[in-house]
Each structure stands twice: as structure tokens, then as C-alpha cells.
Amino acid sequence: MPSQPGKSVTIYDVARECGVSISTVSRALNSAEIVKPATRQKVLDAAARLGYVANAQARSLAGGRANVVGLLVPGLINGYIAEIARGIDEELARADYNLMVYTTRRHRSQESAYVDSIVNGFSAGLLLIVPLVPVQYLAILAEKNFPYVMIDQADNSGMSTVVDATNWQGMYDATSYLIGLGHTRIGFITGLMDIRSAVDRLDGYKTALSDHQIPLDDSLIARGDFWPEEGYKAANVLLEHPDRPTAIIASNDLMALSAMDAIREHNLTIPDDISILGFDDIPQGRIMFPRLTTVRQPLEQMGRIAVKLLLERIEAPDLPPKHITLATELIQRDSCQSPAPRR
């Protein structure tokens, strides 16, 4: 039996087992090179024999690597975040880090205390996929010079390291594609307009329209907030428009999916009666019927890169902020086609 119930094996046990001091054990385990190969091997063997596993708390208390990064998200609920999280998890595994998940729904009242406790807690760094990052969050992070990376959201201050995608270009391409298909009345469901990416996407849409000499019709723009409920409502507004659009673009897949519901409830067929196009490329979009045409954000890769950047910053907290933007890609599936000839 490697260990007794309760008590666990410490470096003291290992040290005793192979007749060296605890510092040698520590060194053999961490700063591999500084120790004589033979000694090192002896230690490693003893550790294995005893079933030693380092106590992460003690290690990080004593100033060593913390080996944990935090992930702050609004919730575990949606495919979009899960996709990013997958990339994060994989990259973290590679570096042998663990993941602490923090959700923003908690501690509504005292959010800054929450961030404070994150910073003071286990994590060596923080990844944020929070649509709306309260300024105070960033203030605390900055004040403590705590390493963090924001995913899929720009911070206007320019003080943050962020990983995002070409929101403007993606929506420009999507809109152009629909126009190429022959659509001229294209409805648009916005994201939460306090968020940079939502603004950029709307902008891409508008520019594509104007580049193709299609006059902008404000009544074709319905406000959403990236969540299904609002997407559904916005779709209804568009569908009940006296001069209904022949295509609808949603600012993300989640809203596109619920818009599809609304469309069906209006007894319209996709894509025969109306085309629908999303943004993100979450897995659900692939299993819908018809399969959703969308603008792919390389979510998993974004997660990966965010981790790399964060790890980098954990090593060197004073690195200047970086901003990495990945390319989006239009994924043509089955939810868009040329509009039916007008009656």
C-alpha cells in the first residue's frame, strides 16, 4: 500500500527513504538539471515506490508554480463556451495545468470581491470568456498585475491581452455571400451591442450591403443579445415585417437556432422560403435540420492560443499586451439558398 488512510506521502518520506535531504528531493523533482543524475534517479525511484504526489497547495504557497488557471465564464451552458473550453483543456493538459471554473452568475452583488478572491486564490492566471467584463474586474486584475487573457472580446483600453476572430470580415463575407445568392432584403439580428464583437459584426453587415449598392433598411435590423430568447423575439419581429426579408443573419448560432424555431412556427421552410445564417459554428448547428450555414470561428483554437498566451504571461507577467486575431471562415451548409422569385 503506497499510503495510509488520511496521511499522505511527503517529500520528507521520500528524503528519508533514499537518504538525502528534502531540498534535494525538491530539486530532483523540479529543477531537474541541478542535481546529479544518479541522485535524481534515486529520488525519482523512491518517490514512485512510495507513491508520492506533490501537494499543490504547499508548492504554490511556498512560491512555486501554481499549476492552476482559472476560467471565468457566464455559465457552462452553451456550446460556444464548451467549444472554447475544449481547446483550453487540451492545451492545459499539455502543460500539466489544472482548470478552476468560475461562473459570473455567482456573487452578483459583490462581484469585485469575487474577482479578488480568484486572484488571491489558487489560480496563477485567468482566462475570461465573459461577454461583458465589468471595468472593475480589469482594474483589480491590472492592479495586482495578475496575468489574464480575454477570449473573443476586445477591451477598449488596449491594456489587455486578447484572442479573438475577424468579426467584421466574417460578417462581411457572410452578407456578401447572401447577396451573391440574390438576396437583397437581408434581416439582421444583432448581438448585445455593448460588446465590441457585436458592433463589429453589425458593421461588417452594413458595409457589405453598401459595397453592393443595397440601401440600408433599419427596420431589417432587430436587436438581440446573443441569447436564444432574444434571438427568438428578434426573429419574430423580422418575420412579421410587412415586407419580410428573404434571409436572416443572426449574430451568433445560438440565436440562429432559435430563429429557426420562430421561422418554423410561421410555417415557413428553410431554406426555400427564407435563408438563415449564423455565426460561431457550434456543434449543434451541424446536427440541426437543415444544417446551419454559418461563419466559423475557430473556437477551439482560440482556447488553445489563449492558454499559450496566458502561460507565457504567467512566466513573464510584464509582457506587453498582445492581441491575436484569427480568421473566420464561411461554412456553407444547407440553410441558405437563392430567394424564391417574388410573387
| Residue 223 touches which member of DNA, its own copies, none, C-beta under 5-8 Å by kind | none
211 contact partners, CB below 8 Å, separation of at least 6: 176
Identity (one letter) of the amino acid at 261?
A: D
232 vs 236: CA distance, rounded Å: 6
**How many binding residues for its own copies (CB under 8 A)?**
56
Among the listed residues 331, 268, 255, 326, the one whose alpha carbon sits nearest the alpha carbon of residue 295: 331
**What track of x and - describes contact with DNA for positions 12 through 51 (by CB under 7 A)?**
x------xxxxxx-xx-xxx--xxx-xxx-----------
**What track of x and - describes contact with DNA for positions 63 through 102 (by CB under 7 A)?**
xx--------------------------------------
What is the smallest separation between the CB atom of 284 and its own copies, expressed in angstroms?
5
Question: Is 287 a binder of its own copies (CB under 8 A)?
Answer: yes
Contact indicator for 229, 262 with CB cutoff of 8 Å = no
Residue whose C-alpha cell is 511556498 = 62
Stretch that binds its own copies, among 37-45, 140-148, 168-176, 304-312 (CB under 8 A): 140-148
Question: Is 134 a binder of its own copies (CB under 8 A)?
Answer: no
Contact indicator for 27, 35 with CB cutoff of 8 Å = yes
Count of H-run helices and E-run strands, the chain: 13, 12
Stretch that binds its own copies, among 20-28, 114-122, 321-329, 335-343 (CB under 8 A): 114-122
106 contact partners, CB below 8 Å, separation of at least 6: 114
| Residue 24 touches which member of its own copies, DNA, none, C-beta under 5-8 Å by kind | DNA
DSSP-derived pairing of the beta strands 293-296 and 329-331: antiparallel
Instruction: Label residue 287 exposed, middle or buried (CB < 10 Å: 0-12, 13-18, 19+).
Output: exposed
Question: Is 306 a binder of DNA (CB under 7 A)?
Answer: no
Question: Is 316 a binder of DNA (CB under 7 A)?
Answer: no
182 vs 271: CA distance, rounded Å: 13
What is the smallest separation between the CB atom of 218 and its own copies, expressed in angstroms?
29
Q: Among 59, 185, 223, 308, which residue interacts with DNA (rule: CB under 7 A)?
A: 59
CA distances for 334 relative to 186, 252, 256, 306, angstroms: 17, 17, 13, 32
Q: Among 21, 41, 117, 332, which residue interacts with its own copies (rule: CB under 8 A)?
A: 117
Q: Among 7, 106, 108, 342, which residue interacts with DNA (rule: CB under 7 A)?
A: 7
What is the smallest separation between the CB atom of 35 and its own copies, expressed in angstroms?
22
Question: Is 116 a binder of its own copies (CB under 8 A)?
Answer: yes
Identity (one letter) of the amino acid at 223?
A: R
Cell of 127: 482566462
Backbone φ and ψ for 98, nearest 5 degrees, come out as -110, 165
Residues that bind DNA (CB under 7 A): 7-8, 10-12, 19-24, 26-27, 29-31, 34-36, 38-40, 52, 54-55, 58-59, 61-64
Q: Which residues bind its own copies (CB under 8 A)?
A: 1, 3, 5-6, 8, 51, 53-58, 60-61, 68, 75-79, 82, 85-86, 89-90, 93, 98-103, 105-107, 113, 116-117, 119-122, 143-145, 228, 257-258, 260-261, 264, 283-284, 287-289
